[in-house]
Every structure is written in structure tokens, then in C-alpha cells.
Amino acid sequence: MHLIVYKGIRVSTSDSTTNILTMDSNIKSVGILTSGGDAPGMNAAIRAATRAGISNGMRVYGIYRGYRGLVSDEIEEFQTNSVSNIIQQGGTILKTARSEDFTTVEGRKKAYENIKKHNIDALVVIGGDGSLTGAGIFANEFNIPVVGLPGTIDNDLNGTDTTIGYDTALNTIMQSMDRLRDTATSHERLFFVEVMGRNCGFLALNSAIASGAEAAIIPEISIEKDQLAELIEQGFRKSKNSSMVLVTESEITGGAIQLAERVKKEYPWYDVRVTILGHLQRGGSPTAQDRILASRMGIAAIQALLENQRNVMIGIRENEIVYVPFKRAIKKEREISDEMLEVLRISSI
């Protein structure tokens, strides 16, 4: 496997290059958990990490319900057949849940005691920024190796071109938009379609491009200008009899409902409708791209542990697996590409 590190310590990208890291590892067993919001492809990652661990002579443990299960000792040893027939399934067979206990020192101590009870030497944590933040804190407090996988549909982690579940969610939104377009055109309406993303507009922007939407209202631009007023002034493409606008669910954008209410009040001549896709975006069978990505990352997580890596997220940059320190992965929101903004602007005129 050819690996590089993103702004980190790995120097080898070819088999002939000297590797500064030892391949000798004291890790004989690994625990795997999923945390935060579920994302299509998590099961593929669980499957790959489980089988990679077993193929390297490790004992592998599935930890149910994320950090809550780590605290409450919901831990089960996995065999190869434990992860059979799951690669095509959405969600996560390990379940996921919030854990208030894990946010406390006492809760994390109990989690560590459970790890020691099962003789688990390292953890693979699959989740988003909150999950990786918790992983970093836990690893530092108890000196346990932890490797993270970016499992989130929001695509909001730094150091990786894409995250597990993002491609599937993008396709789900695109298919929903195609269906909504039929109704919008038939009734000559302005549709605001709200998608997930929190303070990151990747889903809204790229699904707007893919579905031929007129605009995307995203947090990154809402901070700088009034996107709605700008869109209204441009006339929402008067040459068309319908308009579709993607909106990121965020306090910064105000969300689709707030924007629709504003249009009704300030621009009453528009016939406005709102569709909130909600948790539909998280479900469904993962795309081929997400299955392949998750499989590569799951195997890379075990490889990283064998190389004595810790506190790193597995990412992908220009189709190469990279190791990204947790602090860099979660340090700030990812930047939106000016090129993609220009693509949407030109293609929607």
C-alpha cells in the first residue's frame, strides 16, 4: 500500500522509499465503533477494518452504540462472518448514540476500564468532527492508539477530499431534486429545498450543480452577503417557469422555512414551497464509490495501527490514502472552492 501523510510525518509514497516508521507493533486486538450521525458506507468500513485486523492476526471487537457502548461495556468479539452481507447496507450494524457520560472524566475512565477488561489495545473510530474530537481527548488521557475514519455525509473534515457517505447523500439529494423539478415546473413555483450540512455547504452546492438548480444558499457565503436578496434581484432566471434553490440547514442561512417566509413577506408575487429532505439523506444503500472508499479506509486504519500511528484520521487526497492528525482534521470548516461556485453561477444563468 502506498501511503503519504497530509502535513504530517509519513514520507513514503513508493515501495522503494525508506519508511521512517517501524512495522513492529504491540497491538494484538482492536475495537471498532461508529459515532455521531450515521452515514452510508459505515458498514463497509466496519467490514474492511474487521477483516483487515483478523488477517493480521488481531482480535477484533465491535463496540455497540458508540461511546455510550464503550462506557456501558456493550462490546462483542467479531469474527469474519460477523460482518458478512453488510457492505450493501446503509446505517451501521454497530448502532450509534450520544453519550453524556463520555463527556466526563469519570465516564471516559469507565470506558478505559472496559477496554482493559477486554484487552483491547487500540480503537478505530468511524464518525465526524465531534467523534474525532472525543477520540483525540480519550487517546491523550489514557495513552491509547486511536485511528479515525471520516464517516459523515457533510464532507466537512479537513485533509480529505471526501468523506464516507457523502457521495451517497449527494446522489440521494440529486434524485429527490429531479422528482421535485417535475412538480415545480408543472405549477410554476419557487422551491426551497433544505439539505444537511450544518456550517458546511458542500452538499447544497454540489447537489445544486448536479440537479441543475438555480442557486445554493450556503453558510460560507451567507456570512458575507444577503444571498436571497441577490437572487431576487437577478429574477431567479425569468426565462424559466420554475426555480429550485438548495439551502443548507444552518443558523447562518436561516434554513428553508425562514427564507420562504421572507419571500412571502417581501416578494409576495412568488408562489413558494419548501421541502426539507431531512434524514432521508442519511439512508439508503451506499454507492459504489462510498463502498470502495470505506473499504480502502478501513484497511488503511489497521495498516496505520500496525505502523504505530495514533491520533490520526485516514483521509484520501488525489486518490492516495493519507494520515491526517486529528487536530488538523477538525480545526476549522473546510473551504468552498471558488471554481465550484463559478460553475453553479455560469450553469444556472
**Is the residue at 335 inside a domain?**
no
| Structural domain of 105 | 3-164+286-329
Among 97-106, 143-152, 167-176, 259-268, the least confident range: 259-268
Catalytic entry in 38, 129, 154, 290: 154
Mean pLDDT of the chain: 89
Instruction: Identify whether 101 is a catalytic site residue.
Output: no
Instruction: Return the CATH number at 141.
Output: 3.40.50.450
* pLDDT over threshold 90, residue 308: yes
Task: Give me the DSSP letters along 276-342.
Answer: E-GGGGG-SPPPHHHHHHHHHHHHHHHHHHHTT--SEEEEEETTEEEEEEHHHHSSSPPPPPHHHHH
CA-to-CA dists, residue 193 to 64, 180, 196, 248, angstroms? 34, 9, 10, 9
Query: What is the predicted pLDDT for the residue at 24?
Result: 59
**Is the residue at 348 inside a domain?**
no
Asked if 18 and 108 count as a contact pair (C-beta separation under 8 A), the reply is no
**Is the residue at 312 inside a domain?**
yes
How many domains is the chain partitioned into structurally?
A: 2
Work out the widest C-alpha separation in the chain, in whole angstroms.
70
21, containing H or E segment? none
Over residues 210-231, mean pLDDT: 80
Query: What is the predicted pLDDT for the residue at 90?
Result: 97
Considering the domain architecture, whether residues 23 and 148 belong to the same structural domain is answered as yes
Over residues 65-82, mean pLDDT: 98
Which parts of 128-165 fold into alpha helices (H)?
129-142
* Residue 97, amino acid: A
C-alpha cell of residue 188:
410554476
Q: Which residue has the higher pLDDT, 5 or 135?
A: 135
pLDDT band per the 50, 70, 90 thresholds, residue 248: very high
Considering the domain architecture, whether residues 78 and 186 belong to the same structural domain is answered as no
C-alpha cell of residue 256:
428553508
Cα–Cα distance, 282 to 157 (Å, whole number): 17
